[in-house]
């Protein structure tokens, strides 16, 4: 079993793929074929899909019973202890919208506390 998802690909490629696969939705192809046919289809997709993206999911032996191939896509397959997962790249410095450092409430509370009080609090627990 094989599923091929294309985006921004030429119409000629889509027409060519309908020889072997069934187009169930715009840019989504499903079918069954040998490993040789799958490799030939993938080579053709990589050659003709210059500006677009492609993902191929096909059945294989293993725990998940499937594999991924990716062409010009932001997400990439990563092997994690035998499981193939799709890793999404994030931009540097951006961690899902989380900010680091003090919260606004803590910063305002810290600003209201005198500096000598903060220093005294550090050494209160030391036994001499």
The answer to whether the CB of 87 falls within 8 A of the CB of 34 is no
The mean pLDDT value for 89-93 works out to 66
Query: How large a percentage of the chain has pLDDT more than 90?
Result: 49
What CATH number labels 2-88? 3.30.70.240
CA distance 79 to 74: 16
* Alpha helix (H) residue ranges in the chain: 11-17, 35-48, 104-112, 115-123
Q: pLDDT tens-digit profile of 27-47?
A: 999 999 999 999 999 999 999
Checking if the pLDDT of 119 tops 70, the result is: no
> How much of the chain is helix, strand and coil, in % rounded to 5?
30, 30, 40
| pLDDT top residue among 36 and 97 | 36
Domain positions in the chain are 2-88
* H or E segment to which residue 26 belongs: none
């Amino acid at each position: 079993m094989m599923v091929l998802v294309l985006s921004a690909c030429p119409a000629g490629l889509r027409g060519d793929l309908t020889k072997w696969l069934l187009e169930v939705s715009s840019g989504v192809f499903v079918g069954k074929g040998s490993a040789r046919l799958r490799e030939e289809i993938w080579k053709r997709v990589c050659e003709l899909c210059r500006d677009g993206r492609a993902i191929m999911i096909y059945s294989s032996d293993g725990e998940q019973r499937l594999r991924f191939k990716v062409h010009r896509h932001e997400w990439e397959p990563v092997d994690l202890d035998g499981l193939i997962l799709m890793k999404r790249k994030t931009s540097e410095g951006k961690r899902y919208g989380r900010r680091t450092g003090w919260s606004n409430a803590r910063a305002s509370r810290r600003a209201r506390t005198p500096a000598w009080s903060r220093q005294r609090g550090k050494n209160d627990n030391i036994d001499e």
